[in-house]
Amino acid sequence: MSDWQRKNPLDWQTYVNKEVKVTAAEKHEYKGWVLTIDPVSANIVLVKLLEDGKVSVSAILGHAVQTVEIVNEGDDEVKERLARLFMPEESKAFGHEELEKRKSSLKTWLESNHIPVTEQGESQRTLCVAGVLTVDPPYGPEDCSSSNEIILSRVQSLIQGHLAAQQ
């Protein structure tokens, strides 16, 4: 087991949204921005931001990683760009201010209906309802996920009603 695999998820989290140089087995080198690290396998997902606006995504298997060196800390603009890469298309249509407004409106409405809700994630973009359901941007019924089908269905209906009332 490599030193990389011996790290814990909190150690790996310090690499997220940073530009790194990874040396892997057989002296292969990879450079890119760390999008995420799988806490079970220690696999690294790297993103290269290309000049033409496109991106290149690579996955380096955790067992092959020998060293990881931080090259650039990254700023809020890079974090935002990485966060938007895999966001559903409809949420890209909303500006940052519009998404914040939708999140705030939904959160306030849920709280006014005595439903416990918190913000979670590094960027506080995800709403967590009663600790068992999450709502991601753009905060519509289809953006809910929960392993409890009954709660999922009921909260989706509530959100649908909230959105209909706003129009």
Strands 65-72, 44-49: pairing kind: unpaired
C-alpha 156/C-alpha 165 separation (Å) is 14
Instruction: Please report, rounded to a whole number, the percentage of residues in the chain having pLDDT higher than 70.
Output: 95
pLDDT band at 87 (very low <50, low <70, confident <90, very high): low
Tens of pLDDT, residues 136-151:
888 989 999 999 999 9
Between CA 74 and CA 64 the distance in angstroms is: 25
pLDDT tens per residue, range 48-85 = 988 887 889 999 999 999 999 999 998 878 887 887 77
pTM over 0.95: no
Residue 161 pLDDT greater than 80, yes or no: yes
